[in-house]
A = this chain, B = another copy of it.
Amino acid sequence: MQPDTTRQVLLDAAFHEIHRKGFQSASLTAILHKAGVTKGALYHYFGSKKELGYAVLEEVISDHLRTLWLEPLAGATGDPVTQLKDCLIKAGEQLNDKDIRLGCPLNNLAQEMSPIDQGFRERTDVMYKLWLQTISSALQNGQQLGKVRKEIDPEETALFIVATLEGCMSMAKNTQDKAVLLQCGKSVLNYLDSLGT
């Protein structure tokens, strides 16, 4: 097996185990079993369980955020309200029942680890700030294009949007019900519409 492949297999296995059980309760043994390698391989690539967790955050989860939210909004040429709605709809579509039951990987890790580990907190913080800033910029751009109401504060609105998104995911996870996600998502879509001119 190629070295880079083994590292990636480990990252993928760790991502799924952490997504399922949370970081603290994620078992290295389970990760190794799922990855099909042994402890020697893990500690060859990662110095500790925590470093493995950091890598999952910085490489796997970061990629998800980028492809789902950052890149679609980065080429901010059109109407940000439509772009945001497209992101939301596309993100919702690709969630299967298991994803709903397990919730947002970024929020899960941030919720679990930010109160008890600085390293996780700093890394999740960077990602949320990137997310907020991207939405805020898109909204600001939309205001200049006359597509978004001038009265709204882009930063405050971006924060509220992300908060509602995470809130919807949380409620759907708690109830384990996709209908909840859809109903909640509908309210978000309505709110997004209210931002347009």
Interface residues of A (CB under 8 A from B): 20-22, 24-25, 101-103, 107-108, 110-112, 114-116, 121, 124-125, 128, 156-157, 159-160, 162-168, 170-171, 173-176, 180, 183-184, 186-188, 191, 194
Contacts and interface: CB of A to CB of B under 8 A. Distances in A.
A168 B163 contact: yes
Contacts of A110: 170, 173-174
Most buried by B among A25, A107, A167, A170: A167
Question: SS class of chain A's interface: helix, strand, loop or mixed?
Answer: helix
Contacts of A165: 167
Contact of A187 (B125, B157, B170, B173): B157
Copies in the complex: 2
Contact of A166 (B102, B108, B114, B170): B170
A154 to B, nearest CB: 12
Contact of A170 (B25, B163, B176, B186): B163
A133 to B, nearest CB: 13
A128 to B, nearest CB: 6
Nearest to A116: B21
Given A121-B176, A175-B125, A107 B170 contact: yes
Contact of A184 (B112, B115, B121, B160): B160
Most buried by B among A20, A21, A22: A22
A188 B157 CA distance: 11
B171 A166 contact: yes
